Amino acid sequence: MKNNKHLFQLKDRVVYVTGGLGRIGKAVCDELSKLGAVVVGLDRSLPETVVRTDIHYSVFDITNTENLEERLLVLQKKFGPAYGWANCAYPRTEDWAQSNIENIEPQSWAANIQLQMNCNCLLSAAVAKIMATRNEGSLVNIASIYGLVGPDFQIYEDNGLMTPPAYAAIKGGIIGFTRYMASHYGPRNVRINAVAPGGVAADQPAGFVEKYAERTPLRRMAEAHEVGAPIAFLVSHAAAYITGTVLPIDGGWTAI
């Protein structure tokens, strides 16, 4: 593509976003839409009235791993073949936030590995296989800084927040699988990347936000759109020579 001005353009390209109604998924939909993509937000359920008119929505439960390829083909028959796909769904058990390394509940551990890692990976594999039949595509997984480095537990002291131990296993697994897929599908021009966001601001307790900011070179938490835009970049042609990478979006958290 000679005209660099259009490298970020996704005009008329169909891009699916799982968890499209979530904090990050919504921001990803917004940024993709700004680039001209035909955006399809997928979520486990939809509100009666969806306010956005520039985005299509469809119910798609990523934890249903039955007949994945068939269901994807039905979806793509309706909205168009997936040029891009962003995995932003975040299914988790109700006790997720209470999980502690010194008191791991095996059933909860296994359930979250299934919901958050296995389901995302199986879905990614099915999506990429279909993309490969057209010799083009770009899929983005969401990992986390906690797939790259261990937590600094000092930021969780005295504020009731915690990052569950399974999160590290899940996000590390997603990073490994992203690289595996990138290697396998590179020859068929399907790019597979991941992002590793730091914490997104969402009314966390002031003490936590303060400690988080102190520990971060940019001295603040992320805004959702600051995660959405780099994901849209990875989907776009501007990232045509990028595959198998894990892009930290973390204000410098993993640089120090």
Ligand X SMILES: NC(=O)c1ccc[n+]([C@@H]2O[C@H](COP(=O)([O-])OP(=O)(O)OC[C@H]3O[C@@H](n4cnc5c(N)ncnc54)[C@H](O)[C@@H]3O)[C@@H](O)[C@H]2O)c1
Q: Give residues in contact with ligand X (CB under 6 A).
A: 18-19, 21-25, 43-44, 61-63, 88-91, 142, 144, 197, 199-200
CB closer to ligand X, 188 vs 215: 215
Is residue 56 a contact partner of residue 40, using CB atoms and an 8 Å limit?
Answer: yes
Q: How far is the CB of 216 from ligand X (least distance, A)?
A: 13
Least distance from ligand X to the Cβ atom of residue 200, Å = 4
- Nearer of residues 91 and 251 to ligand X, judged by Cβ: 91
Nearer to ligand X, 190 or 194 (CB): 194
Q: What is the DSSP letter of 78?
A: H
Residue 221 is given by DSSP the state P
- What is the distance between the alpha carbons of residues 235 and 245, in angstroms, rounded to a whole number? 12
Report the C-alpha gap between 229 and 27 in whole angstroms.
8
Distance separating the N- and C-terminal Cα atoms of the chain? 37
Closest distance to ligand X from the beta carbon of 141 (Å): 8
215: Cβ contacts below 8 Å, ≥ 6 apart: 152, 154, 155, 253
Task: Give the shortest CB-51-to-ligand X separation in angstroms.
Answer: 14
Q: Which is nearer to ligand X, 137 or 197 (CB)?
A: 197
